[in-house]
Amino acid sequence: MNILVIIPAYNAAETLPGVLQGVLGYCRQDDVVVIDDGSTDGTAGAAARSGVRVSRSPGNEGKGAALARGFAHAVAGGYDAVVTLDADGQHPPGMIPELVRCASAGECDVVIASRRRGFAAMRPERALSNRLTTLLVSLLAGVRIEDSQCGCRLVSTGLLRRLSLAAGGFQAESELLIQAGRLGARIGHVGCPVIASPSSHIGHLRDTAKFIALCLRYL
C-alpha cells in the first residue's frame, strides 16, 4: 500500500522533531508531509531539517484546512491512502504499520486508532466528552465508531475522492467519519494507547459549539 503520512502542525517546533524521527522509521522522507498551519515558532524549519516535505499555510486556517491540503497532496500524488498523525506526540508512530495491516487485511476504507480501552485513563471531563462525541458521530454516520476524536487514522484516497468536507477546525475529523459511514465505507479499528498531549489547541467552548452545529447540520 502506497501511503502518504500527513502531519498537521501548529506551533509544534518542540514536539515535531521527535514525532518525525519515529515516523521516518517506517516511511521514506518523500512520503511524509508536514502541513504547517501558520506557525510562528519555527515549526516549518524543524520539519525541513528532517528532510520531509513541508507545505505552509499563509495563516492559521485550522486543522480542517490543513488536512484538506494534505489530502490534496495525496490524491495528486497517486497514493493509495493517507495516515494522519498529530504533531504533539500523542500518537505513537508505531501505529502506522498497524493501521496499514488492518486496512489490508479487512479491506477497510478507514482505520481508526482507537483509545476506547484507555478512556478511563483520561481526565474525567475529557473521557466524558470523547464518549459523547463518539456516540453522536456513530449515530450520525450510521455505523459503530469506537473513538471519533482520535486524529490518528488511515483513509483511502478512493474514499477521499468521494467526500465533500466543509467543516473547518477539529470538526473536520468528525465530518469525515459521518460522510464515510453514510457512503457505506468499511471502517476498522486498532487499539491505541492514551498519551497525554503536552499542549492542546482545542478551545473547548468554541469547538463544542462548532461540533453541535455540525451535528445539527447532519440531522
Q: Tell me which of 145 and 170 has the higher pLDDT.
A: 145
Report the top-level CATH class of 3-218. Answer: alpha beta
Instruction: Using a pLDDT cut of 90, give the percent of the chain over it.
Output: 82
Q: How far is CA 153 from CA 7, 79, 206, in A?
A: 11, 15, 24
**Do residues 62 and 168 make contact, with C-beta atoms less than 8 angstroms apart?**
yes
Helix (H) or strand (E) holding 105: helix 95-106
pLDDT tens across 21-38, in order?
Answer: 999 999 999 999 999 999
Lowest mean pLDDT among 56-70, 117-131, 196-210: 196-210
**Of 88, 62, 85, 72, whose CA–CA distance to 154 is shortest?**
85
**Do residues 74 and 6 make contact, with C-beta atoms less than 8 angstroms apart?**
yes
218 HSE (CA, 13 A, CB side): 25
Predicted structure pTM score = 0.93
> What is the per-residue pLDDT for 182?
98
> What is the per-residue pLDDT for 200?
53
> What is the per-residue pLDDT for 52?
98
Contacts of the segment 46-54: beta carbons below 8 A, 24+ positions apart = 46/12, 46/13, 46/16, 46/17, 46/20, 47/7, 47/9, 47/16, 47/20, 49/17, 50/17, 50/20, 50/21, 50/24, 52/20, 52/24, 53/29
Residue 50 in this model has a pLDDT that exceeds 90: yes
φ/ψ bin of 30: left (φ > 0), alpha (ψ from -120 to 50), beta (otherwise):
alpha
Cα 156 from chain centre: 13
Helix (H) or strand (E) holding 189: strand 187-191
Instruction: Using a pLDDT cut of 70, give the percent of the chain over it.
Output: 96
Task: List the chain domain ranges.
Answer: 3-218
> What is the per-residue pLDDT for 169?
85
> What mean pLDDT do residues 134-163 have?
97
Residue 201 in this model has a pLDDT that exceeds 70: no
Sequence-separated (6 or more) residues with CB below 8 Å from residue 60: 10, 37, 38
How sure is the predictor about 127, in pLDDT bands with cuts at 50, 70 and 90?
confident
**Do residues 17 and 45 make contact, with C-beta atoms less than 8 angstroms apart?**
no
> What is the per-residue pLDDT for 157?
98
Residue 198 in this model has a pLDDT that exceeds 70: no
Per the prediction, the chain carries an average pLDDT of: 93
Q: Tell me which of 200 and 100 has the higher pLDDT.
A: 100
> What is the per-residue pLDDT for 207?
87
